[in-house]
Chain A
Amino acid sequence: MSLISMKFILFVAAAVAGYYLMPKRVQWVWLLLFSYIYYASSGIKLLFFLIYSTLVTYAAGRLLSVVRTSCRDKKKIRKYGRLIIAGGLVLNFGMLAVMKYTNFVILNINSLFGTDLDFVSLLLPLGISFYTFQSTGYMLDVYWGKCDPEKNVLRFALFVSFFPQILQGPIGRYSRLAGQLYTSRSFDFQRIERGIELILWGFFKKMVLADNAGVFVSAIFSDPEKYAGLSVFGVLGYSIQLYGDFSGGMDVVQGIANLFGITLDENFRRPYFARSITDFWHRWHITLGTWMKDYVFYPVSLSGWMSRFGKFAKKRFGKSTGRVLPICLANLIVFLVVGIWHGAAWKYIVYGLYNGMIIAVSGLLGGQYRRWKKALHIAGNPWWYQLFQILRTFILVNISWFFDRADSVPQALYMMKNAVTSFTPSQLLTIPVQQSGSTAMTAAVLVIIAAGCTLLFFVSILKERGVQIRESLAMRPLAVRLAVFLALFFALPCLGQPPSLTGGFIYAQF
């Protein structure tokens, strides 16, 4: 069931109405029921994967608890704990790996060894990466004693399957989300109003910005030779499309959760204002970044073999560099995983390693940067220096988008070359934006994208400066609030692309 459909709007309306009409003690059961109906609507067979992941992580949590309560020997607790967590990880990630990467492995075996192995026809369950990561995070939190295991399997099933977030995140943490899911609530008009407001803003970003930009992006990336002079517009368009699509999707998801009085973790914080790639990953897909940090980066960095490598590096390269080298290596491993997470293709691996390399080099040169800054007499962070950092980061991010969006690494490199050697902006007007192939509306759509970006830019600046836009709107008279609602509502069909042409959200495929 697409998020941009009348069916889904009616589904959410029924879920919200029923939630507040239910006896309070069973409100969470209602949410669970609707979450499973929603997931099953994509295919009843897919429920198997969701139930599998739920049961594996639930069982791991319970087993860890049993070991802790029944065993007094700390060494034994550690030993059994490690076994349980290893089993849980293999079972949970094993399923993800099989479903997502089998054909990628076959493709590489065929090209390496000249074999002719057939591809396997596998379903890719919607949202499998998201719920696998969310449930694995819970399992590791229980292992590290950061949260208590859930005893009720149905309550735990709701934590894994909560329908607004199951397809594209945010990846929730048990300690922050679970309690909210099980809390009972009374109807609150203000809560509903604010939820709808966020949903409309999210759809505006998706349908007016992302989908309009996506028309140009698709044309340019599907024929990079014909549109060689538009490569730079292709990637800039993609940066608009991806941000509008993913952050818009997150606003929709957050808005729906708000209708039930639930606040999900923040996933975007004005990422294009980032001053470094590290800062970018603190602002873009935040829940994936923090997941990687807590469950991959720290454990890998603090592992025994990394500690031995650190000692060797300190002896070999000196205290300062030796201290940072293992962290850089762990960081590269993290971004390799991030790349693989994004998809089964080499271009994603390059995308991940590109980000990891930049962060690793920045880490190694941290002291050097401070010395350069001092030598250039740059004291503190003057506005022009911050602006330079933002533009530099934006360019670096856009280079990574070439790898992300292009069909292959050679195509990405070809388009990068064109971006600096060929420039024919007038060609933009030759790209048809209507299904009929007409270019009559092309200029108008470009103006809509520019106007939408300007609006988003000013909203982002206000938010960056700490202005609480939604709070101040809530204090305005009803007529003003209604006008904003109606403007957003009518902007969708009048200014956006029809959902039947653009498909769903990009990240729902992960």
Chain B
Amino acid sequence: MEQLLEILEDIQPDADYAACETLIDDGILDSFAILSIVSELEDTFGIAITPAEIIPENFNSAKALWAMICRLKEEA
């Protein structure tokens, strides 16, 4: 989880990733930021993220992102 928070901070600073649960709904992460995050997550955690995974439920909070990472790691 710490690694994930570091990635998020690096790509899009100025957001409270530990607490925010509306990263997509409030427009904090735009499509450029989302794809930058996807690229880093794929490299760091060795997972493959498909277009079907890019939904607000998976990107609205660091917690949701972490859940997606864990699920994709299990499925891999």
Cβ-Cβ contact count across A and B, 8 Å cutoff: 43
Cβ A324 vs Cβ B31 within 8 A: no
Determine the distance from Cα of A144 to Cα of B49 in the docked complex, in whole angstroms: 12
Cβ B35 vs Cβ A301 within 8 A: yes
Cβ B54 vs Cβ A310 within 8 A: no
Determine the distance from Cα of A307 to Cα of B35 in the docked complex, in whole angstroms: 11
Cβ A144 vs Cβ B52 within 8 A: yes
Cβ A324 vs Cβ B52 within 8 A: no
Q: Write out, one digit per residue, whether chain A residues 383-418 have a CB within 8 A of any chain B CB (1) or not (0).
A: 000000000000000000000000000000000000
Determine the distance from Cα of A226 to Cα of B50 in the docked complex, in whole angstroms: 55
Shortest Cβ distance from residue A173 to the other chain B in the assembled complex, whole angstroms: 12
Determine the distance from Cα of A294 to Cα of B24 in the docked complex, in whole angstroms: 14
Interface size on A, residues (CB 8 A): 23
Q: Write out, one digit per residue, whether chain B residues 15-50 have a CB within 8 A of any chain A CB (1) or not (0).
A: 000000000000100111001101110100000011
Shortest Cβ distance from residue A379 to the other chain B in the assembled complex, whole angstroms: 11
Q: Which residue of A lies closest to B36 (CB)?
A: A323
Known contacts A293-B31, A298-B35, A363-B32; A307/B51 CB under 8 A: no
Query: Mostly helix, strand, loop or mixed at chain B's interface?
Result: helix
Shortest Cβ distance from residue B72 to the other chain A in the assembled complex, whole angstroms: 13
Determine the distance from Cα of A278 to Cα of B52 in the docked complex, in whole angstroms: 23
Known contacts A302-B38, A323-B40; A145/B32 CB under 8 A: no
Q: Which residue of B lies closest to A304 (CB)?
A: B48
Residue numbers in A under 8 Å from B52 (CB-CB): 144-146
- A299 interface contact, C-beta 8 A: yes
Shortest Cβ distance from residue A142 to the other chain B in the assembled complex, whole angstroms: 11
- A32 interface contact, C-beta 8 A: no
Q: Which of A347-371 contact B (CB under 8 A)?
A: 363, 366, 370
- A138 interface contact, C-beta 8 A: no
Cβ B36 vs Cβ A302 within 8 A: no
Residue numbers in B under 8 Å from A298 (CB-CB): 31, 35, 51, 54
Residue numbers in A under 8 Å from B30 (CB-CB): 278
Q: Which residue of A lies closest to B49 (CB)?
A: A302
- A297 interface contact, C-beta 8 A: yes
Determine the distance from Cα of A270 to Cα of B42 in the docked complex, in whole angstroms: 37
Residue numbers in B under 8 Å from A145 (CB-CB): 52
Shortest Cβ distance from residue B46 to the other chain A in the assembled complex, whole angstroms: 13
Shortest Cβ distance from residue A393 to the other chain B in the assembled complex, whole angstroms: 15
Picked from B11, B31, B39, B50, the residue with its CB within 8 Å of the CB of A144 is B50
- A207 interface contact, C-beta 8 A: no
Known contacts A293-B31, A324-B36, A327-B36; A144/B42 CB under 8 A: no
Q: Which residue of A lies closest to B42 (CB)?
A: A307
Shortest Cβ distance from residue B9 to the other chain A in the assembled complex, whole angstroms: 13
Best-buried of B40, B42, B50, B51 by chain A (most CB within 10 Å): B51
Q: Which residue of B lies closest to A293 (CB)?
A: B31
Determine the distance from Cα of A407 to Cα of B75 in the docked complex, in whole angstroms: 54
Determine the distance from Cα of A324 to Cα of B52 in the docked complex, in whole angstroms: 21
Cβ A294 vs Cβ B32 within 8 A: no
Residue numbers in B under 8 Å from A297 (CB-CB): 31
Cβ B51 vs Cβ A294 within 8 A: yes
Determine the distance from Cα of A331 to Cα of B36 in the docked complex, in whole angstroms: 13
Cβ B35 vs Cβ A327 within 8 A: yes
Determine the distance from Cα of A294 to Cα of B51 in the docked complex, in whole angstroms: 7
Shortest Cβ distance from residue A323 to the other chain B in the assembled complex, whole angstroms: 5
Residue numbers in A under 8 Å from B36 (CB-CB): 323-324, 327
Residue numbers in A under 8 Å from B55 (CB-CB): 146
Picked from B13, B31, B39, the residue with its CB within 8 Å of the CB of A323 is B39
Residue numbers in A under 8 Å from B31 (CB-CB): 293, 297-298
Q: Which residue of B lies closest to A322 (CB)?
A: B39
Shortest Cβ distance from residue A298 to the other chain B in the assembled complex, whole angstroms: 4
Determine the distance from Cα of A301 to Cα of B11 in the docked complex, in whole angstroms: 17
Determine the distance from Cα of A301 to Cα of B54 in the docked complex, in whole angstroms: 12
Given contacts A278-B30, A302-B49, 11 further A-B contacts (CB under 8 A): A144-B50, A144-B51, A146-B52, A278-B32, A294-B51, A298-B54, A302-B51, A323-B39, A327-B32, A363-B32, A366-B32
A-B contact pairs, 10 of them (CB 8 A): A144-B52, A146-B52, A278-B32, A297-B31, A301-B38, A302-B51, A326-B39, A327-B32, A327-B39, A330-B35
The 8 closest A-B pairs by CB, nearest first: A144-B52, A298-B51, A327-B35, A299-B51, A363-B32, A301-B35, A323-B36, A298-B54
Query: Residues on B close to A: CB < 8 A?
Result: 11, 13, 27, 30-32, 35-36, 38-40, 42, 49-52, 54-55
Query: Residues on A close to B: CB < 8 A?
Result: 144-146, 278, 282, 293-294, 297-299, 301-302, 307, 310, 323-324, 326-327, 330-331, 363, 366, 370
